Chain A
Amino acid sequence: MEPVLALVVGGLYAAAIYMILRRSIVKLVIGLLLLSNAANLLIFTVSGLTREAPPLISAGLDAPVTPMADPLPQALILTAIVISFGVLAFAVVLINRAWHVVQAEDMDQMTGTDT
Chain B
Amino acid sequence: MTLLVALPVVLPLVLGALSLALWRSPLAQRVVALAGTGALLLLSIALLWAVIQHGPMATALGEWRAPFGIVLVADLLAAIMVLMAGIMGFVIALYSLGTITRGHENFGYFPLLHLLLAGVCGAFLTGDIFNLYVWFEVLLLASFALLVLGGERAQMEGAIKYVTINLFSSAMLLTAVGLTYGLVGTLNMADIAVKFDAAEDGGRVTVIAMLFMVAFGIKAAAFPLFFWLPASYHTPPVAVSALFAALLTKVGVYAMFRMFTLVFDAEVAYTHNILLWVAGFTMVTGVLGAAAQFEFRRILSFHIVSQIGYMIMGLALFTPLALAGGLYAIFHNIIVKTNLFLVSGVAYRLQGTYQLKQLGGLYRSHPGLGVLFLLSALSMAGIPPLSGFFAKFILVRAGLEIEAWVIVAVALAVGVGTLFSMIKIWAEVFWKARPEDAQTRAPALDVVSPGLFWLYVPIVMLAGLTVLIGVAGQPIFEVSMQAAEQLLDNSAYIEAVLGGEEGP
Contacts and interface: CB of A to CB of B under 8 A. Distances in A.
A94 B163 contact: yes
Given A20-B168, A35-B168, A46 B181 contact: yes
Interface in B182-239: 182, 185, 187, 231-232, 234-235
Interface stretch (B15-23, B154-162, B273-281): B154-162
A102 B178 contact: no
B232 A32 contact: no
Contact of B145 (A20, A32, A72, A90): A90
Given A32-B167, A76-B130, A112-B154, A43 B160 contact: no
Contact of B231 (A42, A102, A113): A113
B151 A87 contact: no
Contacts of B170: 87
A79 B174 contact: no
A90 B151 contact: no
Contact of B171 (A39, A97, A107): A39
A65 B85 CA distance: 48
A53 B152 CA distance: 54
B164 interface: yes
B66 to A, nearest CB: 14
B137 interface: yes
Contacts, number: 103
A97 B160 contact: no
A112 B157 contact: yes
B45 interface: no
A interface, how many residues as a size bin?
35 or more
A11 B177 CA distance: 20
A101 B231 contact: no
Contact of A94 (B144, B177, B179): B144
A83 B187 CA distance: 18
A94 B160 contact: yes
B160 A73 contact: no
Contacts of B141: 86-87, 90
Interface residues of B, number: 38
A102 B157 CA distance: 8
Contact of B134 (A25, A79, A102): A79
A14 to B, nearest CB: 13
A113 B163 contact: no
A39 to B, nearest CB: 4
Contacts of B57: none
B178 A83 contact: no
Given A25-B160, A47-B182, A112-B157, A35 B167 contact: yes
B411 interface: no
11 contacts: A32-B171, A39-B171, A40-B174, A42-B179, A48-B182, A73-B178, A83-B137, A87-B140, A94-B156, A110-B156, A113-B157
Given A72-B187, A80-B133, A87-B140, 13 more contacts: A42-B175, A47-B182, A72-B181, A79-B130, A79-B134, A83-B134, A97-B151, A101-B151, A102-B157, A111-B157, A113-B158, A113-B161, A113-B231
Interface of B: 130, 133-134, 137, 140-141, 144-145, 148, 151-154, 156-161, 163-164, 167-168, 170-171, 174-175, 177-179, 181-182, 185, 187, 231-232, 234-235
